[in-house]
């Protein structure tokens, strides 16, 4: 199928509009949908919005000192979302400050306020749902706080594990970036990096002092392409993954078939049932400190003392149930079934 043929041009243009709709965003928000995984969204943020020595505040939802391990075991480290975003920002030259919280919790609003008052930050990043702990961040309150305390700081949300299953009102909450990937709650095969940028973020990009610091991730290259497809005209920078964008179009239409609020309510209801069963019937503990800070699209469970994951997972798998073995280096092995 041609990537400049009319049928595809229509599907791509429409997908950009539908993506905006899934995030409850107004027309001035700029979508980017490019070939890559969620991680490419970090590179887009770092290379287009940050310049050398810009300050970035990275909020962690439950990670403790991976850095020690980084020095000793560089090859064994897997990715943790706040840490990896911080690492990506640093590679592009930003000065990163990390605000950490113990596993299972998140930095408090007063800690965030204190940090925002201590320095002028160009961007603040939040992982909406931390996939390694199941902790949900209150992005609405954090955005509100940022606007009050440090109005020009861009609020960047890693929504890879939340877009499609958690409430996000991009424009009403005044967010600047939400980035995600195709393969989680959007239900599309992996291979697409999706990002929505506010007009405030686009202004920061257009007012850069120096050139953007990536070639493939450059918004200077991609903005005209996205604008062209949205006005149903083909334009070439690098070949889009045509079949994935068809799949995205189908999925976004399924998501928007009925009111988004109903879909999110179903996710929440399903998740509460899982959590009730895990906690009340099985008597196990979930990772987040409270239900209010728990994700609605995933549940992270502590395995009981004495139970070996390596023995448990194959038994669960033999019942046709697939569990992830855990992501967080401090508290799990990477075993997957
Ligand atoms: C999965 C995930 C990522 C990374 O996405 P990839 O598509 O694997 O690059 C980033 N952030 C969060 C919160 C995730 O869950």
Mean pLDDT (the chain) is 90
**Whether residues 276 and 194 fall in one domain:** no
Best residue for ligand 1 mutational test, from 59, 131, 298 (most atoms within 8 Å of Cβ): 131
**Whether residues 267 and 239 fall in one domain:** no
330 pLDDT exceeds 80? no
**Whether residues 238 and 124 fall in one domain:** yes
**Distance, CA 162 to ligand 1 centroid (Å)?**
10
**Distance, CA 161 to ligand 1 centroid (Å)?**
7
Domain range holding 315?
260-334
70 pLDDT exceeds 50? no
Q: Which helix (H) or strand (E) is 16 found in, with range?
A: helix 6-22
**Whether residues 65 and 204 fall in one domain:** yes
Provide the token pair at 36. Answer: 């890559």
Boundary-marking domain end, from 255, 279, 313: 255
- Asked if residue 181 has its Cβ within 6 Å of ligand 1, the reply is yes
Boundary-marking domain end, from 238, 255, 272: 255
* C-alpha–C-alpha distance, residues 201 and 58, integer Å: 17
| For the CA of 128, the nearest atom of ligand 1 | 13
Percent of the chain with pLDDT over 90: 78
Boundary-marking domain end, from 255, 281, 303: 255
What is the DSSP secondary structure assignment for residue 210, as one 8-state letter? S
For residue 322, what are the CA distances in angstroms to 99, 295, 314, 317, 335?
33, 19, 9, 6, 12
Within-domain flag for 1 = no
Spatial contact of 220 and 212, defined as CB atoms under 8 Å apart: yes
**Whether residues 267 and 245 fall in one domain:** no
pLDDT attached to residue 49: 98
Best residue for ligand 1 mutational test, from 181, 248, 328 (most atoms within 8 Å of Cβ): 181
**Whether residues 267 and 194 fall in one domain:** no
pLDDT attached to residue 336: 47
For residues 80 and 293, the model is more confident at 293
Provide the token pair at 144. Answer: 């509100």
- 123-127 and 192-197 beta bridge pairing: unpaired
**Contacts of 336 by beta carbon, 8 Å cutoff, 6+ apart:** 324, 325
Within-domain flag for 43 = yes
Q: Record the pTM.
A: 0.92
**Distance, CA 38 to ligand 1 centroid (Å)?**
5
**Distance, CA 43 to ligand 1 centroid (Å)?**
13
pLDDT average, residue stretch 69-91: 60
């Amino acid at each position: 199928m041609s990537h400049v043929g009319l049928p595809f041009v229509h599907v791509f243009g429409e997908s950009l509009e539908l993506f905006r709709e899934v995030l409850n965003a107004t027309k001035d928000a700029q979508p980017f949908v490019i070939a890559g995984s969620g991680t490419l969204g970090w590179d887009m943020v770092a290379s287009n919005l940050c310049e050398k020595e810009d300050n970035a505040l990275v909020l962690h939802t439950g990670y403790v000192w991976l850095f020690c391990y980084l020095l000793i075991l560089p090859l064994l480290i897997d990715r943790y979302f706040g840490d990896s975003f911080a690492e990506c920002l640093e590679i592009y030259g930003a000065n990163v400050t990390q605000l950490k919280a113990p596993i299972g919790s998140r930095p408090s609003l007063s800690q965030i306020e204190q940090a925002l008052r201590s320095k002028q930050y160009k961007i603040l990043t939040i992982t909406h749902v931390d996939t390694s702990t199941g902790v949900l961040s209150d992005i609405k309150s954090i955005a509100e706080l940022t606007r009050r305390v440090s109005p020009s700081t861009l609020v960047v949300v890693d929504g890879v594990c939340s877009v499609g299953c958690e409430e996000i009102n991009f424009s009403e909450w005044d967010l600047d970036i939400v980035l995600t990937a195709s393969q989680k709650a959007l239900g599309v095969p992996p291979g697409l990096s999706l990002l929505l940028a506010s007009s405030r973020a686009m202004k920061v990009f257009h007012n850069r002092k120096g050139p953007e610091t990536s070639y493939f991730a450059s918004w200077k290259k991609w903005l005209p392409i996205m604008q062209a497809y949205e006005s149903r005209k083909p334009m070439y920078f690098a070949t889009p993954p045509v079949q994935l964008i068809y799949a995205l179009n189908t999925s976004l239409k399924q998501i928007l078939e009925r009111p988004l609020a109903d879909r999110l309510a179903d996710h929440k209801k399903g998740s509460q049932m899982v959590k009730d069963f895990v906690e009340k019937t099985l008597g196990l503990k979930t990772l987040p400190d409270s239900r209010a800070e728990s994700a609605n699209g995933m549940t992270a469970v502590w395995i009981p003392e004495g139970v070996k994951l390596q023995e448990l997972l194959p038994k669960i798998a033999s019942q046709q149930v697939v569990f992830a073995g855990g992501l967080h280096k401090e508290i799990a092995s990477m075993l997957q079934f």
